[in-house]
Amino acid sequence: MITSIDQNTKLYGVLGNPVRHSLSPLMHNAAFLESGINAVYLAFESIDIKSAIQSMRALDIKGMSITIPHKSSVIPLLDEVDPQAKDIGAVNTIVNVDSKLTGYNTDAAGALRALEEATPVSGRSCVIVGAGGAARAIGYILKKNNINLIITNRTQKRGKELSKALDSRFIEPEQLKDIDTDILINTTPVGMSPDTDLCPVPEEALKQEMTVMDIIYNPGRTKLLKTARDRGCKIINGLGMFIYQGAEQFKLWTGQEAPVEIMKRVVEEALYNKE
């Protein structure tokens, strides 16, 4: 086990703005320690994506998580972009091998793994609530996995654009209560701490036997998930997606399977056992 930082320690990090709330450093440092890898992972708060990427090359930073607001703007700065990340239009992971920077998107795979842990996916129907970056990544991977997709969004224009890009159907939020679906995924920030009383869909939209996933992980049980549980749905919070997108990053960086149990434990402790 690595007990100290020395001349061989490899550097990783998360680049975004704001980034001080990020739990990625906690999660990845725990994973490196558990796996006996001589590496550290720091949070870099920067709005200057161009200089930050240059620094990555200059200082031989081996890998970077990319978060808001840089997931799209980083793409032209990279040497190569994985086809899936290119299709999604967002990179959340950079791998640096001998100064060659390659971008990936692990959000999509993370969401799929979290969903598949709870319910079979292929051939089922799914409503995605929201049409932002997260909706795009999740919608993309679900389409690839043979899901019959419906998009709903507060702003019709954005919702229709995404549904067209994903070759799926758009419905207005008011139509949600009349839709029969196997899976419903909230990708909006509605219900996130501190506005925990808000729910992104009407209660009647949540029907028994449905699987309801919220990509929010703080609080661990949103109003949406509480309501869904009360109405007999299977529920999944955003913790799994967060951990599994990190596990995919770890694998890209180290070539090893990530110690997901440890990663989950440290994040859960930080989020839910604060007092």
Binding mask 104-143 for ligand ATR (x = CB under 6 A): --------------------------xxxxxx--------
Please give the single-letter amino acid code of residue 235: I
103 near ligand ATR (CB under 6 A)? no
Closer residue to ligand ATR (CB): 78 or 190: 190
The separation between CA 148 and the C-alpha centre of its own chain, rounded to angstroms, equals 21
Helices (H), 24-170: 24-35, 49-58, 83-88, 107-118, 133-144, 156-165
User: Shortest gap between Cβ of 264 and ligand ATR (angstroms)?
Assistant: 22
3-class state of residue 156 by DSSP: helix
At residue 89's C-alpha, the angle toward residues 65 and 63, to 5°, is 20
Count, residues near ligand ATR per rule CB under 6 A: 14
Residues of span 137-156 touching ligand ATR by CB under 6 A: 153-155
User: Shortest gap between Cβ of 131 and ligand ATR (angstroms)?
Assistant: 4
160 near ligand ATR (CB under 6 A)? no
Closer residue to ligand ATR (CB): 19 or 30: 19
User: Shortest gap between Cβ of 8 and ligand ATR (angstroms)?
Assistant: 37
243 near ligand ATR (CB under 6 A)? no
Q: Which residue is nearest to ligand ATR (CB)?
A: 132
Closer residue to ligand ATR (CB): 133 or 219: 133
72 near ligand ATR (CB under 6 A)? no
- Cβ-defined contacts of 167-175 (< 8 Å, 24+): 167/143, 168/139, 168/143, 171/127, 173/129, 173/201
Residues of span 186-215 touching ligand ATR by CB under 6 A: 187-190
Q: Among residues 10, 50, 62, 71, which one is catalytic?
A: 71
- Name, in order, each residue with C-beta under 8 angstroms of 207's C-beta and a sequence gap of 6 or more: 180, 231, 232, 233
Residue 176 in tokens: 């949600």
Answer yes or no: 71 catalytic.
yes
Order across the sheet with 63-66: list the strands: 39-45, 10-16, 63-66, 93-97, 100-104, 80-81
- Name, in order, each residue with C-beta under 8 angstroms of 180's C-beta and a sequence gap of 6 or more: 125, 207
For ligand ATR, the binding residues (CB under 6 A) are 130-135, 153-155, 158, 187-190
